[in-house]
A = this chain, B = another copy of it.
């Protein structure tokens, strides 16, 4: 009973001071997050009276749980459907904001004479706005349901995805020390593949299991299952060398497709609140006020850059994507701060030991300053846009007006009850081929990755190393057969379409049938060769020697023919299950 006293004491100090400071900050009408950080500074080793925390390591671990729960909650709020609704505008605005802020951050860092890596991380820190702060500020101001707020949430979702991509890229750069376009491409490709596969597989499995558990009606069981999936998936992701943050976000996004989303959010909220409080306190713990005095000048410059940079880049992006000036101004003012994602990026830099110690406190302070200004900026957006509209010379406002009108002409009319066009049909088939190819690739990549563990195990059964590879590769192939069959069938349909379109009877004359037949047969065959080359490249380390390979392929071909109907059936039922999950989510 008494072994954990030190830890309970730490927790008591953290929670008690967090509680007091939080109430105080609420009275002062300041965001609670700032209260937590202030509590951390008070408790921390750099301020009097003295170091109040005994076991900082354990508190840091609890803070990491806070990151997991924060990202998990972000994932729960993520939704592919919501993303499609705000669509293009959100993507344009978020991309414009991130690219501009990355550049501004990097340039500022270089101008202060900081190292390249510090400057790069500064850019990344400034790029992503804070969902927590924005949701809180909009709710406080009572404008959470207005259209511009919906657009802001869309931008935040896009930012979260791009932020996660950035985390992965930064991790890569930090390890190799450089960013070649090739490596970036491969890294992002692998990330995209991993995200697609885990989203697909997750959405097939997780909501079904949770639905089964939820039907029992016990909150306790549901919570433990949710946490089991959450941490289990995080573990898998960490083993694949991605960050816990990515894992928590992805599994959250998977669970967002569950019917029982609301109950899950309700159950996870107290855990998120408790541990994110600890996370923000740990941020304060690492803050040395003396550093802030030394770096007062950069902090001021960066804070101004965040506010004006985000206002201009995100606002302009919104405007260029076709919204009116008032909306653009409000969106720009709303996203003008940095927050939890910046802390995660800054701590990544510290953990990988590629950034200097001063970057973290600067990020925290800039976040605190811009968090403080956010509510005022949102309130100030409307008067400012009115005043700007008055003050603008007529010629300039004319140009803006013409741009808006031109853009409106460009946009396609919403086409009422038009049937599936050839284009949309083709697009759907291409997407299906891509998804199935992604799954096939994932299986073979997984097999090559798993070979490290599987081969030593196999070694005790089959001593011959070539036979080992045959076994492993055959197993992967067996798993992939349903998806390969699907790829084959979809390319066949695609080839038929292609043959119909490309070979016109008026040109080909009496060869029409023969030509069409040739195309319809050739294209799938060539594609399958391409698929084989891809698979061989991906599974290079476990590819059996040629002789064996041919044997395996022949066996697989025979097996496929025998099991053709079964393969088609299993793939179809998987597809239906996937669609059902999405539709269920949509109903609720």
Q: Which residues of A contact B (CB under 8 A)?
A: 1-5, 7-9, 11-13, 15-20, 22-23, 26, 32, 58, 60-61, 64-65, 67-68, 212-213, 216, 218-221, 223-225, 227-232, 234-235, 238, 243-245, 267-271, 273-274, 277, 344, 347-348, 351
Contacts and interface: CB of A to CB of B under 8 A. Distances in A.
B12 A277 contact: no
Contacts of A9: 235, 238
A270 B273 contact: no
A228 B20 contact: yes
A242 to B, nearest CB: 10
Given A3-B351, A58-B61, A347-B1, A15 B227 contact: yes
Given A26-B216, A225-B23, A238 B274 contact: no
A223 B269 CA distance: 10
Contacts of A60: 3-4
Contact of A61 (B7, B23, B32, B270): B7
A277 to B, nearest CB: 5
B15 A224 contact: yes
Given A16-B232, A231-B8, A245-B1, A22 B221 contact: yes
Identify whether the interface residues of A are mostly helix, strand, loop, or mixed.
helix
B235 A18 contact: no
Contacts of A65: 8, 11
A338 to B, nearest CB: 18
Nearest to A351: B1
A231 B15 contact: yes
Nearest to A238: B5
A2 B225 contact: no
Given A1-B351, A23-B213, A223-B270, 12 more contacts: A1-B344, A4-B60, A4-B64, A11-B65, A12-B234, A12-B235, A15-B230, A15-B231, A15-B232, A19-B224, A19-B225, A23-B212
A274 B269 CA distance: 13
A174 to B, nearest CB: 11
